[in-house]
Every structure is written in C-alpha cells, then in structure tokens.
Amino acid sequence: MESLTVLIADDHPLFRKGLRALLDTYPEFTVVAEAASGREAVERTLEWQPDVVLMDLQMPDGGGVDATRRILHASPRVRVLVVSLFQDDDSVFAALRAGARGYVLKDTPEDELIGAVRTVGAGGAIFSPAIAARVLNFFASAHVMVPAPLFPGLTDREREILHLMAAGHDNHVIAGTLGLSVKTVSNYVSNIFAKLEVANRAQAIVRARDAGLGSLE
C-alpha cells in the first residue's frame, strides 16, 4: 500500500501522543509533524506538505476551520480529515465548506479511524455514521431551500443570512457556516436592516420568523 505522510493538529498533547502511537503501528503512515494550534497547523503543513492533516476544530490561534481554509488555499493537494468531539451542524458544515474531505469523531473505533485516514489519503471522502446522518438529513430537509418569494427585495445570500439569523446564530457562526468573513456578514446584515426597514437585529428576526424563516426542524 502506498505510504502516506500525516500531520496531527490537536491542542491536547495526550490525544496527539495516542494518535501518533496508533499511526506508528501501521508502516504505511509516517507522522511528519504535530501542531497544537490553528496557526501551527498552517505553518507546519506548509513546511512539511503532508498528504493528510488530521485536524481538530477547537484550537487556539484561529481554530481548525480557519486553518483548513488557509491550508487548502495555499496547498490544494493536501487533504484534511477532521477529528473532533463536536458533531453539531455548525461545526460539521463549517468544516466541509472550508474544504475538509472527511469528518470523524474522536470516539471512532481505531480500525474505522485508520480506514478514514486511508480513504482521505486516497482522495476519497468519509464521515462517521453520526456525521453522515446529519449531512443526509440536512440535504433532505426543507430548510435547505429558503422560499424565494419571501422578502423578494433581498438577494439569495441576504435571504440565507436572514434565515440563519432567525435560527439564532450570531455573525461569527454565520460567517463560519457560509465560509465568509465576519466583516462581510456584518455588511450583509446592514443591507438586510435597510431593505426590511428595521432598526436592529431583534426586529429583523421577528420579521423573519413571522414569515416562517429560522426553523431548523
């Protein structure tokens, strides 16, 4: 089997140590570097150019989503596999929008985790069962398509952001979900206020919810 170089990015030393020990038992994997923050993940990935980055999401200095986005912008050939405790929709879809090729949970059995590294290293995509279910449910749910006739004065992107606002998400979460900067989201929100002729976020949310936006069920 073709050898794969791997970088482990996680801010917990014991988890990094355990993951390295597991990978070292398989001659097909070579762990070339470790990182304990988002910034280090980017710097060491650009330095070592591994085949696969095993990326935690909650890390200091930018976190895993931002690190994934920056890594793939600079080195598109690198493949990122998220290994996280979090399985909420915001975390999952922010990681996928950033370009991650897979998403597995930290309690994934060892043989399944090794299989996920192999799959992503070979260019495939893979998800833990719980994550796969969330992805399928998301695309099967009616909330994916926000009815266009609602608030016709808004652009599709503005309507999408209004929907996420009505669901209770702040600008930082919306930015991560849609792969936008917080400043860009803030500009969209200001445009939404002006077009809806409302004074603040609370009034915009009331208008949106009255129209049926914001439900994630």
Evaluate whether 143 touches 150 at the Cβ level (below 8 Å): no
Q: Give buried/exposed letters for 144-169 (b at 16+ CB in 10 A, else e).
A: eebeeeebeebeeebbbbbbbbbbeb
* Residue 13, burial from CB neighbour count under 10 angstroms (0-12, 13-18, 19+): exposed
Instruction: Report the distance separating Cα 32 and Cα 39, nearest Å.
Output: 17
- Nearest-5° Cα angle at 71, 66 to 73: 95
Question: Is pLDDT of 168 > 80?
Answer: yes
Average pLDDT (203-209) is: 88
Q: Angle at CA 133, nearest 5°, toward 66 and 35?
A: 30
State how far the alpha carbon of 52 is from the alpha carbons of 37, 79, 107, in Å: 17, 5, 19
Q: CA 195, CA 211: separation in Å to the nearest integer? A: 15
Average pLDDT of the segment spanning 179-193: 92
- Residue 211: band (very low, low, confident or very high) from pLDDT cuts 50, 70, 90: confident
Cβ neighbors of 202 (< 8 A, separation 6 or more) are: none
pTM across the whole model: 0.65
pLDDT of the residue at 92: 86
136 burial level (CB within 10 Å; 0-12, 13-18, 19+): exposed
CA-wise closest residue to 73 among 42, 95, 104:
42
pLDDT band at 143 (very low <50, low <70, confident <90, very high): very low
| Mean pLDDT, residues 76-105 | 90
Domains parsed from the chain with CATH numbers: 4-138 (3.40.50.2300), 142-210 (1.10.10.10)
